[in-house]
């Protein structure tokens, strides 16, 4: 099951050329781009691991693409996303984030139902991949 988090996630995967253009758009808007990766695709997992530093002073997208190539080399079996952070006073938050790399096999999510008192029902989602220990999930 294809994970749909962040912008463009309902589109086919972006090509490197398209990623470059999106990243350049972010930089031209004055946002600092950075890369994050994870192997826990749960939608509420907002804290991904950071790859390198946020790039506050790189005027060209090629810098991020270099880092992306390095990140793919190390963690190509995981999810990688580009995060564009707007440091403007009053915003200070992520303006755009999109997935640029995903595992070849995305097993999807299991829905757990828990019967509570009365006819109440509690639901929980678990990524199947999270059954395995972190770091070995998409090998």
Partner 1 sequence: MTDETALPDTSPEPPRETAVDLRREMADSGVQDILDQLDRDLIGLKPVKQRLREIAALLVVEKARQRLGLAHDTPTLHMSFTGNPGTGKTTVAMRMASILHGLGYIRRDHVVTATRDDLVGQYIGHTAPKTKEILKKAMGGVLFIDEAYYLYRPENERDYGQEAIEILLQVMENQRDDLVVILAGYGDRMDKFFASNPGFRSRIAHHIDFPDYGEEELFAIARHMLDDMNYHLTPAAETALAEYIALRRAQPHFANARSLRNALDRARLRQAKRIFETAQGPVDADALSAIDAADIRASRVFSGGLDAQPSSGDRP
- Pick the closer one to partner 1 by CB: 57 or 117: 57
Q: Round to whole Å and give the CA distance between 85 and 88.
A: 9
Site residues for partner 1 per CB under 8 A: 55, 57-63, 66-67
Question: Minimum Å distance from CB 101 to partner 1?
Answer: 19
- Pick the closer one to partner 1 by CB: 25 or 91: 25
- Pick the closer one to partner 1 by CB: 39 or 68: 68
Question: Minimum Å distance from CB 103 to partner 1?
Answer: 23
**Concatenated DSSP letters of the chain:** -----BTTTTSSPPPHHHHHHHHHHHHHTTPEEEEEEES---TT---PEEEEEEESS--STHHHHHHHHHHHHHHTTSEEEEEEEE-STTT-EEEEEEEEE--S----EEEEEEE-STT-EEEEEEEGGGGSPTTSTT-
Question: Minimum Å distance from CB 54 to partner 1?
Answer: 12
- Pick the closer one to partner 1 by CB: 33 or 100: 33
Question: Minimum Å distance from CB 78 to partner 1?
Answer: 22
């Amino acid at each position: 099951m294809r994970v749909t988090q962040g912008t463009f996630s309902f589109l086919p995967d972006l090509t490197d050329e398209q990623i470059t253009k999106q990243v350049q758009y972010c930089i031209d808007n004055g946002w600092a781009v950075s890369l994050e990766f994870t192997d826990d695709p749960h939608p509420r997992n907002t804290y991904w691991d950071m790859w390198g530093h946020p790039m506050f002073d790189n005027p060209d997208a090629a810098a991020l693409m270099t880092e992306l190539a390095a990140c793919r080399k190390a963690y190509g079996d995981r999810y990688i996303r580009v995060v564009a952070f707007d440091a403007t006073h009053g915003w200070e938050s992520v303006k755009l984030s999109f997935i640029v790399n995903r595992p070849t096999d995305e097993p999807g999510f299991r829905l757990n139902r828990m019967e509570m008192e009365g006819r109440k029902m509690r639901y929980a989602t678990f990524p199947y991949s999270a059954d395995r220990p972190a770091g070995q999930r998409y090998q």
